[in-house]
Amino acid sequence: MELGATGAARLLGVLPVPAKITAKRPGQSWAWRVGPVTMDHVVRTPQGGCQIAVEIHAPAPLEAALAMSYGPLVSALVRNLARVAERAS
């Protein structure tokens, strides 16, 4: 992940939406802008684990919808990633 890198995120797995990495602190956090939405991701590594916190900044109606949907999605993706990592080690 490189600061300033651009690409597209697929909305609902289909519609490409422009995306750009807008901030990065290696090993700590990154932010990206996807369409009108900015998402700040912070990685914490407490003893024996890993946590990701996400802050969403968007127009009010969209922010509320994303807050309800994006958090559970990221949680499921991280749990799956942890399962895959455990099997690989």
pLDDT by 10s per residue, the chain, length 89: 788 989 888 776 678 888 899 999 887 888 989 888 898 888 877 777 777 777 888 888 888 888 788 777 777 877 887 788 888 87
Q: What does the DSSP 8-state code read for residue 62?
A: H
**pLDDT of res. 6:** 92
Q: Are 44 and 28 in contact (CB under 8 A)?
A: no
Inter-residue long-range contacts of 64-73, CB under 8 Å, 24+ positions, other chains counted: 66/37, 70/39
pTM equals: 0.65
Give the pLDDT score at 44: 79
Sheet holding 29-34, edge to edge: 6-11, 15-25, 29-34, 37-44, 51-57
Q: Of 63, 60, 17, 61, which Cα lies nearest the Cα of 40?
A: 63
